[in-house]
């Protein structure tokens, strides 16, 4: 077998995506044959080198797992948390190592995909593939057509203009509005920041779909394996 880039090998072992594997390398969490490695260009010999993550030996996965979870508020979308907060993996009882695809904020609920397919996760989180994630946002104040059009066109947050979004007003209730918004980017707290930029604070945020995959009949805090149709959607996006 040909030498392989370390971050690609880590992803193939189901540890995390390639981009997150790069950070693990830079953080000094990877050893090859007992020696700590921090160079991103490092290559490994898969058939002979012993690669360890956090002092645990890793090896390529036997089969890929694809799950969807209805994440409740109050959980972090990481494998482990430095502040010992509850993570989404606390809700899933399987023996295989899996990790989240992308992120949902601590105070955001909704659809989250998890897998051990590192190459797929890397592609699904890249904005160039234009996979729309759809959210229902309950916001302070009564919004109108002008605000909806601004969000559709993109707004400036953190010094850059967001890509055009799909936005639909759903209802008013008292001094609150409910809006559905779909974006294909995945910046940190992006939806909340977009509404902040147009003068509306998000009170509750729920992700209801990831491309063609939706929550279906999942109850909050529960999970299930993706259907063959849902996996085919992900694989199709991987090949585009």
Supply the CATH number for residue 88's domain. Answer: 3.30.70.580
Q: Could you tell me if 136 and 122 lie in one domain?
A: no
The rounded distance, in Å, linking the Cα atoms of 30 and 207 is 34
Which residues are catalytic, by number? 105
Structural domains of the chain, count: 3
Q: Could you tell me if 121 and 222 lie in one domain?
A: yes
Q: Would you say 76 and 87 are in contact if contact means Cβ atoms under 8 Å apart?
A: yes
pLDDT tens across 129-153, in order? 789 999 999 999 999 999 999 999 9
> Residues near 39 by Cβ (< 8 Å), separated by ≥ 6?
25
Q: Could you tell me if 80 and 181 lie in one domain?
A: no
The structure's pTM equals: 0.83
Q: Could you tell me if 190 and 152 lie in one domain?
A: yes
pLDDT tens across 10-58, in order? 988 988 888 889 999 999 999 999 999 999 989 999 999 999 999 999 9
Q: Could you tell me if 88 and 50 lie in one domain?
A: no
The rounded distance, in Å, linking the Cα atoms of 59 and 61 is 6
Structural domain for 186, as ranges: 132-210
Q: Could you tell me if 136 and 185 lie in one domain?
A: yes
What letter would DSSP give residue 1? -
- Domain end point (choices 17, 39, 57): 57
Q: Could you tell me if 26 and 120 lie in one domain?
A: no
Q: Could you tell me if 178 and 151 lie in one domain?
A: yes
Tokens for 135? 């959210």
Query: What pLDDT, on the 0 to 100 scale, is given for residue 50?
Result: 95
Domain CATH number, residue 158: 3.30.70.1560
Q: Is 232 helix (H, G, I), strand (E, B) or coil?
A: helix
Q: Could you tell me if 218 and 171 lie in one domain?
A: no
Q: Could you tell me if 159 and 171 lie in one domain?
A: yes
Q: Could you tell me if 12 and 75 lie in one domain?
A: no
């Amino acid at each position: 077998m040909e030498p392989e880039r370390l971050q690609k090998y880590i992803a193939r072992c189901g540890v995390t995506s390639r981009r997150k594997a790069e950070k693990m390398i830079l953080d000094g969490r990877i050893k090859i044959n007992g020696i700590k490695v921090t160079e991103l260009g490092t290559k490994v010999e898969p058939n002979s080198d012993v690669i360890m993550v956090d002092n645990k030996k890793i090896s390529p996965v036997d089969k890929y797992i694809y799950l969807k979870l209805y994440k409740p508020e109050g959980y972090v979308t990481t494998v482990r948390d430095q502040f010992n907060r509850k993570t989404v993996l606390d809700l899933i009882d399987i023996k295989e190592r899996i990790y989240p695809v992308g992120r949902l904020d601590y105070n955001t609920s909704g659809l989250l995909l998890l897998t051990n397919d590192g190459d797929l996760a890397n592609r699904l989180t890249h904005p160039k593939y234009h996979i729309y994630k759809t959210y229902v946002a309950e916001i302070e104040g009564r919004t109108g057509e002008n605000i909806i059009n601004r969000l559709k066109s993109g707004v400036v947050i953190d010094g850059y203009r967001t890509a055009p979004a799909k936005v639909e007003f759903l209802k008013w209730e008292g001094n609150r509005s409910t809006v559905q918004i779909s974006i294909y980017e995945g910046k940190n707290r992006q939806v909340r920041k977009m509404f902040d930029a147009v003068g509306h604070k998000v009170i509750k945020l729920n992700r209801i779909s990831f491309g063609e995959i939706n929550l279906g009949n999942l109850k909050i805090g529960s999970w299930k394996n993706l259907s063959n149709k849902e996996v085919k959607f992900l694989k199709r996006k991987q090949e585009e």
